[in-house]
Structure 1
Amino acid sequence: MTENEPPELPRGIALAWGVAATPQRGPKREMSVERIVDAAVELADAEGIGAVSMAAVAAKLGFTPMSLYRYVTAKDDLLLLMQEQATGVPPESHLEHEGWRDRLLALYEEQVLLYLRHPWMLSVPITGSPITPNSSAWLDASLAALEQTVLTADERIATALAVTGQARWCGIVQAGYTAQARGIGLSPDEVAVREADLYDRVITQDEFPALRRAVDEGVFTSPADPFRFGVERILDGVAAYLDARDRGESRAPVDEWIAIDPVELAGDRRLKEAQKTVREAERMLRAARKAERQALREAKERFAKTKGQG
């Protein structure tokens, strides 16, 4: 590759866009990338992402793993193609909504449904922007919803990512509850009641006062959707920001990412030992404070008892 040549597309992305070279030999009529991906998605939907391997997909199709490798040369490429197929394109129904906010909310709801239909997608690692046709179509739809606003390009992408991130977080939690419910034979509502009971047993007023009040107020068994509340408040913030822009007010852009110090990533032994010492000191401090609260509670009880006897 010369200095001016664009980088070659990775094979998985090339396959997704339909521009990868097809194998010259192999069971062409019986095998295709599409059939391989279909079989893999069926496996994942039925048994989870852990059930997907080149051998398992080959067995499902009645071929040898080597036959698959002529079409999909790596499992990472297969996962990319599975995610691409399961994602699909954003439904045109979101265009029936008026205004940027309602369109983004419609896209948010559809993304949550995607994760509920294919929870294994949440187990696929995020290794960068998914530069594939369907994933690009979803991002394009979110950006298009914001196109008539005065937001800058950076602000539009940030808003789209905030909504997408909230949909993924909602999917992670709901899929987790569903999996747990299936594993222990309870409904998701019954799992929530069981979880609330566990909180009730271990969360005390003196140690976690705010959380204790939340437990007593029934937040863990409430029918309210905290994720919808969260995304609505995100969009409230965007709307308020747009109003401020209309009034001529603006804030300096945030151009610094949260990042870990490279020194920590280098794995310095003395630094790791010091961090371990800090964690141990924090653990001991928590234990000491807990003992202090216990002693204070017992002292109050003794005082009240003595006062009552007097």
Structure 2
Amino acid sequence: MAVKSDPPFRRIADEIARRIDEGELAPGERVPSTRQIARDWGVALATATKALTALRLAGLVEARPRVGTVVAAKERAVSEGGRPPAKRQPPSSSSSSSPFPSPPHGSSDRELTRERIVRAALDIADGEGLAAVSMRSVAARLGVAAMSPYRYVNSKDDLVLLMADAAFGEEGYPVEPPEGWRARLELGARTLWRIYRRHPWLAQVGSLTRPLMLPALMVHAEWALAALDGHGLDPATMLDLHILLYSYLHGIAVHLEREAQAEAATGLSEDQWMDHQTPAFEAIAAATRYPVFGRITDSLKDGYDLDLDTFFEFGLKPLLDGIALIIEAPPTARRPA
């Protein structure tokens, strides 16, 4: 009779547990992220998330905000009662077939709050991507029963909105704004960019045509609109300029998470992927149909690196220059008839 093999997430968890037990991964050292697991083991992000969840519930790893998942600190050599503490057991291959073990004995969700749930979800999304966030994965990280978060949040969709509102609310603006509309818009743009860089998944939430109705996001909108107010612009033009600036930020920020997703899916870094495209790129550059493109790329002896932070700063100046032309133009020339 054939023996059923362990599920992939269990084999991955056992291998990481072995590395921890043998000292290859020391306490406080980062363990592979879900994206790295997905790439190295050739599995889906959901499978990678299950593996880290099993390790977390076994007490072998722990999540640290802004750091990721690390090897948990070992117990003290001698317990308060004078006996050596019980040895932590790695995830067992003979455990229940459930992909998510039960919460540790003695855990309680009496102290569970909506804020803790949102914070845990933010940590998962920041370290592992938005796809890794689920009500079950959040419960596992908090060590509570799988259904406990539903007492505070109705669904994952609601949780994502709460996460976005919390993220946008992490930064505000000075009571005394800088002098001039341009300085105010620059400050607003760079503030939003910092938030997007801190939470790469955030630009995946919502769309330009279906804006998020979030109080914290409205703080940033109010700042931008107040900078444009008092310059003789009609209301529609003010909204157009605000949306133009926001869409510029959002359009660049959306690629922060997409690049991470692409690396996890292909196993190739951005540079490695570009290296694989060299033959196709050279063929296009050499084609006579694209003479300007070929001439420009041929002149770039050191190549061309697209850094999103640098690109954001590069584009912000001409965008604000264009807004200045509209503000300074005669009222009749500001909007087409």
**If the length of structure 2 is used for normalisation, what is the TM-score?**
0.58
Counterpart of 2:250, as a letter, is R
CA distance in 2, matches of 1:253, 1:195: 46
CA distance in 2, matches of 1:94, 1:204: 56
TM-superposed deviation, 1:184 = 5.1
Q: Which sits farther off after the overlay, 201-210 or 191-200? A: 191-200
User: Is 1:36 aligned with 2:150?
Assistant: no
TM-superposed deviation, 1:66 = 2.2
| 8 Å contact kept, 1:196–1:220 | no
Counterpart of 2:233, as a letter, is L
Q: Percent identity?
A: 30
**Equivalent in the alignment of 1:237:** 322
| 8 Å contact kept, 2:136–2:146 | yes
| 8 Å contact kept, 1:119–1:175 | yes
CA distance in 2, matches of 1:214, 1:143: 39
**Equivalent in the alignment of 1:167:** 249
1:225-251, CA deviations, whole angstroms, 9 ceiling, x for partnerless residues? 444333322222221122222xx5425
* CA root-mean-square deviation: 3.1
1:124-171, CA deviations, whole angstroms, 9 ceiling, x for partnerless residues? 243722222211111111111111211122111111111111111222
Comparing both structures, which one devotes a greater share of its residues to helix?
1
1:50-85, CA deviations, whole angstroms, 9 ceiling, x for partnerless residues? 111111111111222322112111111000001111
User: Is 1:108 aligned with 2:189?
Assistant: yes
**Equivalent in the alignment of 2:57:** none
Counterpart of 2:333, as a letter, is S
Indicate how the Cα distance of structure 1 residues 94 and 206 shifts in structure 2: closer, same or farther if over 3 A, else same: farther
Counterpart of 1:36, as a letter, is I
Counterpart of 2:320, as a letter, is L
CA distance in 1, matches of 2:293, 2:171: 39
Indicate how the Cα distance of structure 1 residues 178 and 129 shifts in structure 2: closer, same or farther if over 3 A, else same: closer
Counterpart of 2:184, as a letter, is R
| 8 Å contact kept, 1:90–1:107 | no
Counterpart of 2:319, as a letter, is I
Q: Which of residues 194, 211, 216 in structure 2 aligns to 1:134?
A: 216
Counterpart of 1:170, as a letter, is I
Indicate how the Cα distance of structure 1 residues 53 and 130 shifts in structure 2: closer, same or farther if over 3 A, else same: same
**Equivalent in the alignment of 2:298:** 216
| 8 Å contact kept, 1:115–1:171 | yes
**Equivalent in the alignment of 1:147:** 229
Indicate how the Cα distance of structure 1 residues 134 and 32 shifts in structure 2: closer, same or farther if over 3 A, else same: same
1:159-186, CA deviations, whole angstroms, 9 ceiling, x for partnerless residues? 1111111111222234545666787575
**Correspondence 1:244-263 to 2 at 5 A:** 244-245=329-330, 249-253=332-336
**Equivalent in the alignment of 2:19:** none
1:175-220, CA deviations, whole angstroms, 9 ceiling, x for partnerless residues? 545666787575x6x4697488463343334122232233224373
CA distance in 1, matches of 2:276, 2:193: 23
Q: Which of residues 47, 52, 57 in structure 1 aligns to 2:133?
A: 52
**If the length of structure 1 is used for normalisation, what is the TM-score?**
0.62
| 8 Å contact kept, 1:36–1:68 | yes
CA distance in 2, matches of 1:97, 1:30: 42
CA distance in 2, matches of 1:221, 1:59: 40
Give 1 or 2 for the bigger CA radius of gyration.
Answer: 1
CA distance in 2, matches of 1:211, 1:173: 23
CA distance in 1, matches of 2:276, 2:314: 21
SS of the aligned residue for 1:68 comes to helix
| 8 Å contact kept, 1:143–1:157 | yes
**Equivalent in the alignment of 1:14:** none
TM-superposed deviation, 1:94 = 9.4
CA distance in 1, matches of 2:256, 2:109: 41
| 8 Å contact kept, 1:116–1:175 | no
CA distance in 1, matches of 2:218, 2:206: 18
